[in-house]
Chain A
Amino acid sequence: MSLLEIRGLCVRFGGLTAVSRVDLDVEEGALVALIGPNGAGKTTAFNVITGVYAPSEGSVRFAGREIGGVAPHTICSLGVARTFQNIRLFRSLSALENVRAALQGAKRSGTGDMLRLAGWRRREAAAETEARALLDELALGSFASARADSLPYGEQRRLEIARALATRPKLLLLDEPAAGMNPAEKQALRELVRRLRADRGLTIVLIDHDVSFVMNLSDRVAVLDHGEKIADGAPEVVRRDPHVIEAYLGSDGEAPA
């Protein structure tokens, strides 16, 4: 059984079909790339997996459990975390606070915080330590007190990843994590993703426009075009698939590198 199993997924918005009859399997520990031209439905697929949209048809199963239409915060507690295409950090909060906010999630207790019963201080300190450790691990330690929106662009993307990691996910969805990065930053990101997968045993699905970025990184590549899956397999095979080439040629005239 795959960790993530999508069968016959259709997502419709009024008259527009964003995703059409998509099947996808992601095994535990795998690193799958989801690529395709603009508007292919990749982010919509992520949004369905994380509960932002409900499927119009089809099923999404995570660790054997149906999560189609389940609330996003519940899906997160089951072990799915994500980053966003347009970076959605908590902008006026510090980097540390962004990560810290993700640590407790649903387990917080308002009364516990107001009354500060036994062990409160200890738990707070432990959480702060964990948050700092996570920042350090992602080379963001020096930015801990800085406002999230004051961080340089690449650091903001890494911070979003740090925040997602704080929820201790089994499955990590990265939506265009390399967008706007220069080649050196992309290389560093590639290393980071490999490391996260190796150290934490994470399963990762990653969307990106930059086909060369994903080619060296992923076990498998799935290609969406106009909401349909047109290819799914090893990177070298997909790269040569005529349908894939046509999909990219059709949109920006360049074969995937």
Chain B
Amino acid sequence: MENLLQQLLNGITWGSIYALVALGYTMVYGVLKLINFAHGEVYMVGAMTGYYAAHALGLTQAPSLGALVLVLLISMAACALLGALIERVAYRPLRAAGRLAPLITAIGVSLLLQNAGQLVFGADPKFFPALLRSEEVIRAGGVAVSNIQLTVLVTALVLMAGLQYVVRRTRFGRAMRAVSYDAPAAALMGVPVDRVILGTFVLGSMLAAAAGILVGLSNPKIDPLMGLMPGLKAFVAAVLGGIGSVPGAMVGGLLLGVIETFVTAYLSSTYRDAIAFVILVVILLLRPTGLFGAPQTEKV
């Protein structure tokens, strides 16, 4: 029983990281109907930026919560810029070009960031500095929660709550939702669509950056290709929850994390990466619009 709960905890921890990245995919798809393949690489840049920032600021030898927060903020700012840059340069010119060209461009940007990353950061893995000293904090009913896990969970929760607030309670959030329902109508109503889309990218990228830092904390080995698999899996999580749906991405991410952890622990670990894709195929066959999505019909 304890093992079950432990695995559940691990699953939720991983799941919350997937959720953070999935949110970026889902928000961009909501406003642009575009699968931003480059999003996984933003997550990677987040981790890398954190690494370099920590070293530059001499925080590697002085682990503390404050250090973590500082690194998080720097990384989120850097990735916000990156996300905005990508949107402005690669996607905005293709706004009217149909669905295919932006998709291909997204793939191109993803490849570019991976390979440029290998050039700039070096292809060898680096070790993310321990910004928090790892210690076991709680032992309840046989389940061990480390402070790092707790930090990951709390940070992810805070960020997701923050996002929910933005989406539901702010003008920007309303504008974002309007654009995702009907962009032309929103434009006619005076919503600054370009700025909303830019803002969406910025928000999503900030969350991805945070995810990168949190992963750096819990799994210190980072490299320029680290965004590939988690990126794809987070995308699957977004589809699972219903692509375009913010709560869907959160639920999808948590679900994927839990399923992956359980299958790996109790069935087979060699198929770990395949699980996400099997879920993807199953969901696409049974309910392509995902758990929270609404079915769409084509007008003939």
Return chain A residues, CB-CB under 8 Å to B297: 13
Chain B's nearest CB lies how many Å from the CB of A88?
9
Q: How far is the CA of A23 from the CA of B300 in the complex (A)?
A: 22
Residue of B nearest to A13 (CB): B297
Return chain B residues, CB-CB under 8 Å to A13: 297
Residue of B nearest to A84 (CB): B300
Say if the beta carbon of A43 comes within 8 Å of chain B. yes
Number of cross-chain contacts by CB at 8 Å: 6
Return chain A residues, CB-CB under 8 Å to B300: 43, 47, 52-53, 84
Q: How far is the CA of A53 from the CA of B299 in the complex (A)?
A: 11
Residue of A nearest to B298 (CB): A52
Q: How far is the CA of A53 from the CA of B300 in the complex (A)?
A: 10
Q: How far is the CA of A62 from the CA of B300 in the complex (A)?
A: 21
Chain A's nearest CB lies how many Å from the CB of B186?
24
Interface membership of chain B positions 277-300, coded 1 if the CB is closer than 8 angstroms to chain A and 0 otherwise: 000000000000000000001001
Chain B's nearest CB lies how many Å from the CB of A94?
22
Q: How far is the CA of A47 from the CA of B299 in the complex (A)?
A: 10
Interface membership of chain A positions 40-58, coded 1 if the CB is closer than 8 angstroms to chain B and 0 otherwise: 0001000100001100000
Q: How far is the CA of A111 from the CA of B300 in the complex (A)?
A: 33
Chain A's nearest CB lies how many Å from the CB of B100?
14
Those of A54-89 within 8 Å (CB) of chain B: 84
Residue of B nearest to A50 (CB): B300
Q: How far is the CA of A60 from the CA of B225 in the complex (A)?
A: 58
Chain B's nearest CB lies how many Å from the CB of A73?
15
Residue of B nearest to A47 (CB): B300
Q: How far is the CA of A43 from the CA of B300 in the complex (A)?
A: 8
Chain A's nearest CB lies how many Å from the CB of B154?
41
Q: How far is the CA of A226 from the CA of B201 in the complex (A)?
A: 43
Residue of A nearest to B295 (CB): A14
Q: How far is the CA of A49 from the CA of B139 in the complex (A)?
A: 67
Chain A's nearest CB lies how many Å from the CB of B269?
44
Q: How far is the CA of A52 from the CA of B300 in the complex (A)?
A: 8
Return chain B residues, CB-CB under 8 Å to A53: 300
Chain A's nearest CB lies how many Å from the CB of B36?
28
List 6 A–B pairs whose Cβ atoms lie within 8 Å, in order of A's numbering: A13-B297, A43-B300, A47-B300, A52-B300, A53-B300, A84-B300
Going nearest first, the 6 A-B pairs with the smallest beta carbon separation are: A52-B300, A47-B300, A13-B297, A43-B300, A84-B300, A53-B300
